[in-house]
Amino acid sequence: MSIFIFAYNITAVLEDGTEVTDVTGSIQNNKRFYKLSDNTVLTGAKKIKEIKSIVYTIPAHFLPIIMSKENV
């Protein structure tokens, strides 16, 4: 199972109001997920509510495909 990183150095606000930095966006098993630098997967109350800044590793025309994947 390979992991495809589509974004890194994400700064975001989570559902619980916490601001996080150095988040990585990845795809594995056809599912999109976000991880902190300590490998904590952001889900539930810790799910991303708003992205403040992001660095994409893919061309812009792939974004609709990435964002259409189920978010874990």
pTM score > 0.75 for this model?
yes
**Is residue 45 pLDDT above 90, yes or no?**
no
Q: Give Cβ neighbours of residue 68 (< 8 Å, ≥ 6 apart).
A: none
Where do the domains of the chain lie? 4-71
Q: Give Cβ neighbours of residue 49 (< 8 Å, ≥ 6 apart).
A: 12, 13, 14, 15
State the average pLDDT over residues 34-38. Answer: 96
**Is residue 38 pLDDT above 90, yes or no?**
yes
